[in-house]
Structure 1
Amino acid sequence: MSDLDPKLAGFTREGLVAAIKSGEGHFGKRELARALGLKGADQKRHLKEQLALLEDEGVVSRDNKKNYVLAGALPAVTVVVITGRDEHGELLAEPARADRGAPIIRLAPGEGAGGKGETAVGIGDKALVRLAEQEDGSYEARMLKKLGQSAHRILCVMRKPEKGYARLLPVDRRSRHELIPAKGEGEKAADGELVLCRIAKERRFGLKTAEIVEVLGDADSAGAGSVIALHAHGVPQGFSEAELQEVKAIKPASMGNRTDLRDLALITIDPDDAKDHDDAVWAAPDEDPSNKDGWVVMVAIADVAAYVQSGGSLDRGAYKRGNSVYLPDRVIPMLPERLSNDLCSLRELEERPCLAVRMVFDRNGSKKSHKFIRGWMKSAAKLAYTDAQDAIEGGGSNKAMALLDVVLRPLWGAYEALQKARAAREPLEIDAPERRVRVSESGEVLGVQVRERFDAHKLIEEFMIQANVCAAESLEKKRTPLIYRVHEQPSREKIDGLASFLPTVGFKWVRGEKPATGRFNKLLAQAKGTEHYETVNEVVLRSQSQAVYETDNAGHFGLNLDRYAHFTSPIRRYADLTVHRALIRALDLGNDGQSDEERSRLASIADEITQSERRAMAAERDAVDRFIALYLAERVGGEFDGRITGLTRFGAFVRLAETGADGLVPVSTLGHERFEHDEATHVLVGMESGGRYRLGMNVKVRIEEATPITGGLLLEMLTDPEPGPRPNRRNRGRGRPGHAPKRGGRPWKKGKRR
């Protein structure tokens, strides 16, 4: 490996990496300089440059305290959250502040079992542990201190067979071990009821006992999928008495010295079932002769800061929730209904306070200027996306057609200009269709459909992106701390994985090639129209980092923007509310802006709302899976087209084309030979015939089981494997520890929970 800059007195790259490793996640620049014996501004400046170089190469990264760690490495002592159990029953965990994909963490055998008078560690609990890296890259953890019981405990279904003992069946698919109700607990719930449990005592052998904390109702009732998802992920529900009293006492805002925007025909464009309206838009040709064919765009956002004061009960509750959660049959709002659906919602023909940004663009969509306004507006109309789109295409409702020339055509004209700038910017163009589960008022699943995306969606999206950029720019210009929306470029490890996979489907990525949105778009364009497009699209999506909230700006890779801050949805995202308050303070738009106390906590707020977002996304995804499993439970035995989206040593995951649901085909059911997983080529290979099931392969499957409680689907493969060369006879049958057995038994029998 090459040496570092000569000015670092002969210090080597290996030495710097070794120093970072020895710091075990506790060394920042100052500690590294001290450990390496570096003195003087010149040496420290070059150390900073070389650390930045190692970061760019993906060798090291920084945690939220600005300490350096080797990429993918974890500090020797860290806080973890217990997330489940492996196939051997050992507890699994992940870092409490895992912003990106973390390696596997297993508690050492017996750890967390609890002693006399001590409650065992359970799923959802936090613990301080000491980690030891294993040869396979995973970590073994030993308990140092238990930090707190889970807020949500373990969600189970009570089962009381006619013969035998009562059992508690965890609804989480990762929890394969049943529990026994502790003495006297079995009488608290009836057969088939959902219950929240707490481990009473872990035992080294046999089933664990549990106490019932709360009975939630019938597991087969309408809406049980949402109840399970919310409790399984610990999503806060309801509002405290203090919040309800505070919101009850709120008086509607008045115009005061706000800028009067009521003459502008601002309109809201939202989904047809939207109940809250964060944003309104307006556009017109720029009358400035120096900006020929340019456009003026106004984006007005609900002024939540006018009602939710920093440090109050409503503010603390919104911070705890972090964001609204959207499930198939209900919404768990961040703010009480009087705010989210009334005072803060930009209702049609009703006057509302707003925080607006006036943006000026040239004919090619490049922004020339912008200005933020504390305004007073009246929405001219509420339109659904479909209605606005139909009007532009000549067939909208009477209300939409009445707005066509004065309101809608100017909006589309400005959007066409912005499209030019967007094309030049080249944001990442991944195709990520969104499933929508249609549910009746009684809770019956009516069907599953993919949400259509029209130009109306893209118009609002692009206007919101531009407003978010303006927010970040204005706050940076005023040197005001803020929470950014950060999306870092893919890690080197993920790019290497992508480069290894692409040749198996006829594409390539040169190793060492720097990831860029334009390069990804070129790859997706090459795959478009081929049988491998969906697979390439998915592996590109999986290669991306997860977006986070941070106070240090690292840009937004996916949008290809240098700075970005969420500003446009303060009714449903706490991040946006913090940005509103920062703008109000920085631009002297009122006395209800960012407080000194809030400013001092921005880094911790960013961490918390990132975790809240993860929690909401997981709950939303799980609820959708459970509702779809409920929908498909009546079609067990039916045959469906699908595509293999994942391969492991225990089977193939298949996504059904009709619903987007994912199910498992166990490896032990694939024909009359043993199949082994080849990680390098992403295939399951038959050890006798050489037949292959590969990632992205189109297949037909039969539904064997659909379990609404867990959201799980068990499938049977009906498509024969693709032919391939027979494996080397010397390697046949050797397998690995824990490898799938030859055909002869199914991992789950029909009718049993899995």
Structure 2
Amino acid sequence: MTRVPSKSEILSWISDNPTKTAKRDIARAFGIKGAARIELKRLLRELQDDGKLTKRRSSYRDTEELPPVAVLQVVGPDENGDLFARPLEWKGQGAEPRILMMLRDSDPALGEGDRILARLTVDATEDHSHTGRMIRRIGTNPRRILGVYRAGSEGGRVMPIDKGSDKQWTVAAGATGGAKDGELVEAEQAGPKGRMGLPKARIIARLGDPTEPRAVSLIAIHQHGIPDHFPDEVIAEADAAKPAGLKGRKDLRDLPLVTIDPSDARDHDDACYVEAHDDGTFTIWVAIADVAHYVCPNSALDREARKRGNSTYFPDRVVPMLPDRLSGDLCSLHEGVERACIAVAMKIDGSGNKIGHEFHRGLMKSVASLNYEEVQQAVDGRPNAKTAPLMDDIIQPLYAAYAALKKARAARQPLELDLPERQIKLNDDGKVTSVAEKERLDAHRLIEEFMVLANVAAAEILIAKKSPLLFRVHEEPSPEKLDALREVAQASGLVLAKGQVLKTAHLNRLLTGAADTENQELINMATLRSMTQAYYSPDNFGHFGLALRAYAHFTSPIRRYADLIVHRALIAVYGWDDDGLSPWDIEHLQATAKQISDTERRSMLAERDTTDRYLAAFLADRVGAELTGRISGIAKFGLFVKLDETGADAMVPLRTLGNEYWGYDADSQTLMGSDSGLVIGLGQRATVKLAKAAPVTGGLIVELLEVDGKTLPKGPARGRGKPVRRRAGSARKKAAATARKVKRRRK
């Protein structure tokens, strides 16, 4: 007779084999066949009733887990000198996990009883279940300093790199961290400043040559004034936060919500699940981290989040809007962990039209943290151990609902720009190893469509309830920019109709006409240049690019302050609690809109500067090499070429263009040689030689060799280009003549 394992043996098997937890896997592991399967099923049900297991459709999971980020208490070293810690928020019934701390040289000394925030990795051995990497000690928040180290006879000093700052810090001989004279370093304040002398610091990280790639993002952070240090009172509020309970919330823990994010994501602020109905309709659940529960109006956390406006992302680091206790822990929808959320259930018909929605303040538990690539591979027929059990009940319904939403999108006709996004990949030393085009998968588009639908639902319900809120506004292009786009289109043999109310459908027809032709990138770039910049406003002017009458950001409150305002508005109109939109929030809504619109642009500039510097460093050893690209900008001082390999924009100064004068036509965005008659315009193919790459500034200077296969005239420059002057009323004729000339020359 087949022996049925004990409950403890079953739990031990599930713990050791987390990817093989289906009933058939357990039966196969213990050799259970025939009638014994009934007894196994009974044992699994009893374990589930006892709270020892939770069932995920056809698989079982041990409830006694820790989140990826947790608060720990140091319990001291063992006889071998290894340091261990215990979780402070353990709720399991089994033995408390024992965590081996893996300390770095830069980590401060820890003693028994210290409370720390740590990142955890499952690593079960005989003496521990996890390993931990320290993030910081709870309750301590030393000031961070970025500067250049200058060695002295005993210790040295840290000299500031901030513009306008002359404050220096002294470093004791034993606190230099091995830094060498002239190195860029990151230091932290070492004790209180005395009544006399310079403040003291200790070096915690050596960043090497200030011109090296590892220093790039830190310099951008300081140059653009992005706050990267949380005040003590903000850290204290975050550290005092406790996980939310079920009181006053809808219990969504049995809803099999999943998060789908990039493979390297550290926080998860949105989760989704789809119910497919027999009548062809779908209910799409989107659950968003309930940041408003932890960040209350006018708290220290709230004031700091509003000041930052958003998180800022660099290739090697993130400057978060919220402290890591919240952004990486309590607000992050980690797998298998109960988390507070605000969820919306949206019903759509078979054509993707939303026919109803309902918001809830709930408590959820994600059944899986997935990444885009593995979800796409599963749908394409290559599921892994994690996605295989989720295919029928979770992943396939997600894609079925997405197929319906695509129909609604096609009818709505949002702007369909095709602009490849490049991703900079770094090695452990912070140097660029490759610049690759980001792959756009249906898994990405699926999540984007779900989030757009949820953002629309939030805007609609708040409008219906006449609540103040912040809209995401994108206004239509100005007439001047549209005229410039029409000239570029005409020069490419395409038409953008005039004399009618502009819709995104008109622009999409233009983009479709250029698709798969030599002018595809030109038309996409010119269309992008014609667009206005999106911003936040308490007034609703619609979202032109998405072709939506009303749009608000609701789905990313961990990284955007605008979403937090929308969450508070929902809390207020539904009367869920007293942490909704405050009178101060409402009174200062216009100022908040301007503040976070400005911080968004600040982050964009810092991210762009950082990317430029990384790309310049990547190309620095290729000076003299010939590169190909496409002309992406024209100005009276020169032109810009977007390089094929990296997507970097390199400048060609006008003075290097040879032995003739160049006429600059701002309307048609062209340069014309006075002697050769050569016309240089947007979108033309170009071959260039790299003349200079400056990592410190991010500048790339190139020499233009060929345009559309035509060699540039040689010889010394005779002078700068001159703008083309026109008589009144001649602009249209001149533009048409230039367009005909460009077209003839391309033939």
For residue 375 of structure 2, give the secondary structure of its aligned residue in structure 1.
helix
Distance 1:558 1:244 in 2: 39
Q: Does 1:296 align with 2:287?
A: no
SS for the counterpart of 2:622 is coil
| Per-residue deviation, 1:579 | 0.4
Aligned to 1:260: 251
Query: Which position in structure 2 is the counterpart of 1:241?
Result: 232
Q: Does residue 1:611 correspond to 2:598, yes or no?
A: yes
1:441/1:721 Cα in 2 relative to 1: closer, same or farther (>3 Å)? closer
Match of 1:87 in 2: none
Aligned residue for 1:226?
217
- Other structure's SS at 2:690 match: strand
Q: Is the 8 A contact 1:556 1:564 kept in 2?
A: yes
What is the TM-score when the length of structure 1 is the normalising length? Answer: 0.68
Name the structure 1 match of 2:442.
455
For 1:237-280, what per-residue CA distance to the aligned partner results, in whole angstroms no more than 9, with x for missing partners? 11001101111111111111311111111000001111000100
**CA separation of 1:686 and 1:580: change in aligned 2, threshold 3 A:** same
- Cα distance in 2 for partners of 1:401, 1:699 equals 48
Counterpart CA distance in 2 for 1:441 and 1:567 is 35
Show CA shifts across 1:449-505 (max 9, x none): 111111100100000000001101111111110000011111111112212222112
After superposition, the Cα gap between the structure-2 partners of 1:363 and 1:646, relative to the gap in structure 1 and judged at 3 Å, is same
Q: Contact 1:692 / 1:723 at 8 angstroms: preserved in 2?
A: no
Q: 2:427 aligns with which of 440, 456, 474?
A: 440
Match of 1:400 in 2: 387
Paired position in structure 2 for 1:140: none
1:448 CA drift (Å) = 0.7
Distance 1:701 1:579, change over 3 A: same
Asked whether the equivalents of residues 171 and 709 of structure 1 are also in contact (C-alpha less than 8 Å), the reply is: no
Report the 3-state secondary structure (helix = DSSP H, G, I; strand = E; otherwise coil) of the residue aligned with 1:340: helix
Q: 1:672 to 1:638 in 2, by over 3 A?
A: same
Cα deviation digits, residues 125-174 of structure 1 (max 9, x gap): xxxxxxxxxxxxxxxxxxxxxxxxxxxxxx99999xxxxxxxx9x999xx
Deviations 1:34-61 (A, max 9, x none): xxxxxxxxxxxxxxxxxxxxxxxxxxxx
The residue aligned with 2:9 is none
Equivalent position to 2:510, from 523, 529, 550: 523
Give yes or no for the alignment of 1:644 onto 2:603: no
Which letter does structure 1 place at the counterpart of 2:581? Q
Aligned residues between the structures: 541
Q: Aligned AA for 1:692?
A: V
Q: What's 1:275 paired with? A: 266
Distance 1:614 1:277 in 2: 24
CA contact (8 A) 1:668 1:674 kept: no
Pairing of 1:44-193 with structure 2 (within 5 A): none
Verify: 1:537 aligned to 2:528, yes or no. Answer: no
8 A contact 2:471–2:551 mirrored in 1: yes
Do the aligned residues in 2 keep the contact of 1:468 with 1:566 (CA within 8 Å)? yes
RMSD: 3.2
Question: What corresponds to 1:383 in structure 2?
Answer: 370
Output aligned runs, 1:301-380, within 5 Å: 301-380=288-367
Q: Does 1:412 align with 2:399?
A: yes
Q: 1:583 and 2:570 equivalent?
A: yes
Task: Give the distance between the partners of 1:709 and 1:226, measured in 2 at CA.
Answer: 11
Q: Which residue of 1 aligns with 2:744?
A: none
Code of the aligned partner of 2:236: Q
- 2: distance between equivalents of 1:736 and 1:424? 47
Gaps of 5+ in 1: 1-154, 160-167, 173-178, 197-213, 727-731, 740-754
The answer (yes or no) to whether the contact 1:699–1:718 under 8 Å persists in 2 is yes
Q: Tell me the TM-score normalised to structure 2 length.
A: 0.68
Looking at structure 2, the residues matched to 257 and 584 of structure 1 have their Cα atoms a distance apart, in angstroms, of 12
1:626 aligns with 613
CA distance in 1 between partners of 2:329 and 2:442 (Å): 28
**Aligned-partner Cα distance in 1 for 2:709–2:379:** 48
Residue 242 of structure 2 is aligned with which of 227, 233, 251? Answer: 251
Q: Aligned equivalents of 1:737 and 1:678: distance in 2? A: 6
- AA paired with 1:440? N
C-alpha distance after superposition, 1:544-599 (max 9, x if no partner): 11111000001111111111110000000000000001100101122211111111
The alignment status of 1:601 with 2:588, answered yes or no, reads yes
CA distance in 1 between counterparts of 2:661 and 2:520 reads 30
The alpha-carbon deviation at position 194 of structure 1 amounts to 7.2
The share of aligned pairs that are identical, in percent, is: 50
Structure 2: segments with no counterpart, 5+ residues? 1-145, 151-158, 170-178, 187-200, 726-747
Letter in 2 for 1:506: G
1:424 aligns with 2:411: yes
- Name the structure 2 match of 1:284: 275
Q: Does 1:498 align with 2:489?
A: no
The CA deviation string for residues 213-258 of structure 1, in whole angstroms up to 9 with x for no partner, is: x999842244221122212221111100110111111111111131
Alignment partner of 1:502: what SS? helix
2:666 maps to which residue? 679
- Give CA deviations for 1:161-209 in whole Å, capped at 9, x if unaligned: xxxxxxx9x999xxxxxx9x99x99xxx99967799xxxxxxxxxxxxx
| CA pair 171-716 structure 1, distance change in 2 beyond 3 A | farther
2:654 corresponds to which of 651, 667, 679:
667
Distance 1:735 1:672, change over 3 A: closer
Over 3 Å counting, the alpha-carbon distance change for 1:596 and 1:217 in structure 2 is farther
Measure, in 1, the Cα distance between the counterparts of 2:518 and 2:489: 13
1:682 corresponds to which letter in structure 2? Q
Aligned ranges for residues 691-702 of structure 1 at < 5 Å?
A: 691-702=678-689
1:565–1:579 Cα contact (<8 Å) kept: yes
d(CA) in 1 for partners of 2:620, 2:531? 34
- Contact 2:213/2:614 (CA < 8 Å) preserved in 1? no
